[in-house]
Chains A and B, each alone.
Chain A
Amino acid sequence: MASPLAQFEIKTLIPLKVAGYDISFTNSALFMAITVVAIMFFMIAGMRKGALVPSRWQLSVEMCYEFVANMLHDTAGREARKYFPFIFTLFMFILFANLIGMLPYFGFTFTSHIAVTFAMAAFVFIGVTIIGLAKHGFKFFSLFLPHGTPWWLLWLIIPIEIISYLSRPISLSVRLFANMVAGHTMLKVFGGFVVALGVFGFAPFIFIIALTGLELLVACLQAYVFAILTCMYLNDALHLH
């Protein structure tokens, strides 16, 4: 039987080398392309009519839009509106990636690779820091100094705040990656139980059905968490506590 981690293996589909770098088209890249195409189909075909009384499809597109718009407005306030396209793209990309990854046999979850999630998290981190520096200049560093800190605690608080700020991209990326890896590995391990137990395999099989439901919840939840944490970081950069 294949190892439960074999599902995360990256396979080269079209070998490609440019100037010594391996930029082959892999199954990971294939699924990123599928995700983007699926999102574009969902959004464009759903809004094609743009009716005043929306159909079910159009309603679901509008629900996604309003969900992210409300989330951004509630956490980061009015000024964050111009960053809405980025947050919305991030949310839809992770959501569709996780959900397409849940397809049995065919699905490959590219968010289960730290390279992918860390790239997104680093982009968010660097972007937010640049926004904060551009908006507040040198005052941005007051972010590391919470209001009302007694002076005799400064030597302790400032390093803690700096470390917690710098660990943001790590925690943001590892959260998504670890959730995806743990969930999919767990499903495969229980799948192994079904095969091993023979006739009595129906018991873990029922459990797998429940776990699949949990994994669908986690897939949506992690997209939400990634997006809302990005909003919170944006809020910190825009309003400095």
Chain B
Amino acid sequence: MEVEAAKMIGAGIACTALIGAGIGIGNIFGSYVSAAIRNPAAAPQFFGNAMLGFALAEATGLFGLVIAFIILFT
């Protein structure tokens, strides 16, 4: 296989890290919404935590994206 083609495939595979990030973000907001429905009065207190969890989960997926960029452009 040519190196160029292998790089493209590798970058594509590296992007599969976003599967986990998608599951994680869906989980966080799903849990947040179900918690907010059970106890709407307490929802604003969790919102900061939900946002923090969202950012942390999103970042793990983006690490995969960075690896894809490194593979493609080096």
- A interface residues, Cβ below 8 angstroms from B: 5, 171, 174-175, 177-179, 181-182, 221-222, 224-225, 228
Contacts and interface: CB of A to CB of B under 8 A. Distances in A.
A225 B66 contact: no
Interface in B39-63: 51-52, 54-56, 58-59, 62-63
The A contact surface, by secondary structure, is helix
A123 to B, nearest CB: 19
B52 A225 contact: yes
B55 A181 contact: no
B56 A178 contact: no
The 6 tightest CB contacts between A and B, nearest first, are A178-B62, A175-B59, A225-B55, A178-B66, A221-B55, A182-B62
The B contact surface, by secondary structure, is helix
21 contacts: A174-B59, A175-B55, A175-B56, A175-B62, A178-B59, A178-B62, A178-B63, A178-B65, A178-B66, A179-B55, A179-B58, A179-B59, A179-B62, A181-B66, A182-B62, A221-B55, A224-B52, A225-B52, A225-B55, A225-B56, A228-B52
A123 B10 CA distance: 34
Interface residues of B, number: 13
Nearest to A217: B51
